[in-house]
Amino acid sequence: MFDIAQLASVDAGADEAVLVERIAVLEQVKSAAAAGQARAAALLDTKRRAGEAAAGMPRSKQGRGLASEVALARRDHPSRGGRHLGFAKALVFEMPHTLAALECGALSEWRATLIVRESACLTVEDRRTLDAEMCADIAALDGMGDKQVEAEAKKIAYRLDPQAVVDRAAKAEKDRNVSIRPAPDTMTYVTALLPVAQGVGVYAALKRSADTTFDDRSRGQVMADTLVERVTGCPAEQPESVAVNLVISDQTLLGDDEHPAVVDGYGPIPAAVARKVVAAAVADKNAVASLRRLYRHPESGALVAMESRARRFPKALALFIGLRDQRCRTPYCDAPIRHRDHGVPHHRGGPTSRVNGLGACERCNYVKEAPGWRVTCCEVDGVHQAEFITPTGATYNSTAPPPPGGPPITVSEVEMRISIDLAALHAA
């Protein structure tokens, strides 16, 4: 193993020229490391599939969950594992010149990814031709930026197989979608992936509205308000009728505690903003605001139970798990929760309980059912813990995020037991 600490160290007495050279060398090291990761991932895929084939596993099921293993090893979002693995296999088995350019530092990992991505629609033979034309002469890559690399790859791909590029564009329309993610200062990014004609049309319509509106709002504000009005059918200042779960401590809501609250599906928001949201909902005659009690462990402060308003407990249990976990519990995955499922599968004897329950995105929930994967759940001092073990034996731990509010008040052991029993009674 090489000395990682040596890579991270810098001579405080070095002059400016030496420091610039150090930056350049470390950039080359990053590219070489990316090439090494690609070779390791491709070899792992080969070995895993060979082993599963020898065990009689159908080809269609070989390699299930491997992409998520790669993502976990890279401390990355599991959904990116397939991209990493596909990138690695393309470089190692089909694009040796691009791999060599990455290894020597002539290409960054991102620029190599752009070349691989633009060649994805080609046959293996054409992909190798593109690889040679772009990267056989490493000197030709000197000075090329991201846009230049992408444009050159697109140009070569279209010349080699115009129909494949056209078909790819048509197929891409099936991937159109809308997503949401948190933005700073209690804002959100709502992103739409659209075919180019529709996307340009949407932007042009919003721009036209901004060009013909004259008030005290900025151009961007007019476009944002117009988008909201046309999508919801209501004025931008009028709230839309949706259910929003806001988790807030009683001290924050009724007292002067300033710990942030949590909006389910979004994340933390400042205490003052949360109180403003609650006050507006209560004051609005057209809004329906309801209060549901959540119970915290008196020692650790973790969520342990919830008052049930539903006749069927599983529905309340699923809601509780979502409020407790907030996002997918797979390490490094911050996707919204789509499934509430058993950590230890039900068919293996796993109970339907809050401890064995786990919030997960759709992808991660299916991955943990692949051969060799194991997930176990427990509570330590009331804090929910999940351990993920991959087929190679690598272990990753996940702890449920703390609920909003300050640390719990210290209580005696008798008081703690009474409060836990009361919580269980009310949540039943």
Hey, what are 263's tokens? 């909006």
Residue 256 has pLDDT above 70, yes or no: yes
Residue 226 has pLDDT above 60, yes or no: yes
What angle in degrees, to the nearest 10, is found between the helix axes of 109-118 and 96-104? 170
How far apart are alpha carbons 191 and 179 in whole angstroms?
5
How far apart are alpha carbons 252 and 404 in whole angstroms?
9
Residues 69/391, Cβ–Cβ less than 8 Å: yes
What pLDDT score was predicted for residue 244? Answer: 66
- What is the pTM assigned to this prediction? 0.69
Per-residue pLDDT reduced to its tens digit, 339-394: 888 888 878 888 888 888 899 999 999 999 888 999 999 988 888 999 999 999 99
Per-residue pLDDT reduced to its tens digit, 36-64: 999 999 999 999 999 999 999 999 899 99
- Picking from 199, 202, 219, 201, the residue whose alpha carbon sits closest to that of residue 210 is 219
Q: Can you give the three-state secondary structure of 41-70, one letter per residue?
A: HHHHHHHHHHHHHHCCCCHHHCCCCHHHHH
406: number of Cβ within 10 Å: 12
Q: What percent of the chain has pLDDT over 70?
A: 85
What pLDDT score was predicted for residue 297? Answer: 64
What pLDDT score was predicted for residue 28? Answer: 94
Residue 117 has pLDDT above 90, yes or no: yes
Over residues 273-299, the mean pLDDT reads: 70
- List the chain domain ranges: 4-172, 177-232, 246-291, 303-427
Over residues 204-210, the mean pLDDT reads: 89
Averaged pLDDT score across all residues of the chain: 84
Residue 313 has pLDDT above 50, yes or no: no
